[in-house]
Amino acid sequence: MFTGIIEHLGRISSVETVGGDRRMRFEAPGYLKGSGLGDSIAVNGVCLTATDFSDDHFHADLSGETCNLTTAGAWKAGQTVNLERALTPAKPLGGHLVSGHVDGIGKLISRHEEARSWRMLFEAPADLARYIARKGSICIDGISLTVNEVEGSRFGVNIIPHTLAHTTLGGLAAGDAVNLEVDQIARYLERLLAARNEA
């Protein structure tokens, strides 16, 4: 589990194909101390397992399914990524509960300045739109955000200067793809209501 509060900006230093899957090396100098082999690390919202480790970098294997269902299939060497280590009992839950299991790929429709912040409009896949609610939580590229407004499959968020400076959101342009993870409570609620209706 994760919180959606980005801890560090890392960089992809290599991408290679191994047996049909992909293996990537992520650089994060000074960030990985205290972490270890087999730890879960969210990279742009995708939960990955560290398969090779040092204080400054880790490797992860990405299956074909992960590459097909997330933006990881388009990741390239030199790209900056959002990093968060798994939640521990001592870690504050400053965002919301995030699994690191991406639900789908959305895209940025537009962005504009509003005072010192940026307003961003995203579009979600139609099958995910029903889980997105005004003032609810959404995870975009691993970042926990509050939904400001919803219209159909499009939703808006407000990005404060701190988030722009410490995540990859500041580098997004209209048309860019992003990983989306909807609020888990919405998914569980839908399942509970469906089960009650079936009964």
Taken in order of first residue, the domains within the chain and their CATH numbers are: 8-85 (2.40.30.20), 104-198 (2.40.30.20)
Which amino acid, residue 138?
Answer: I
Q: What is the pLDDT of residue 163?
A: 96
Kindly state the tokens that stand for 80. Answer: 């900056």
Which residues make Cβ contacts (< 8 Å) with residue 195, sequence separation at least 6? none
**Alpha-carbon gap, residue 79 to 27, rounded angstroms:** 10
For tokens 């398969």, the residue is 51
Global confidence as pTM: 0.92
**144 contacts 42 by C-beta, under 8 angstroms:** no
* List of the chain residues with pLDDT < 50: none
| Three-state DSSP state, 73 | helix
**155 contacts 120 by C-beta, under 8 angstroms:** no
Kindly state the tokens that stand for 56. Answer: 């400054």
Kindly state the tokens that stand for 171. Answer: 């580098």
Q: What is each CA distance from 2 to 86, 134, 186, in whole angstroms?
A: 5, 22, 17
**Alpha-carbon gap, residue 71 to 170, rounded angstroms:** 17
CA 116 to chain centre: 24
Q: What is the pLDDT of residue 62?
A: 97
Q: What is the pLDDT of residue 31?
A: 93
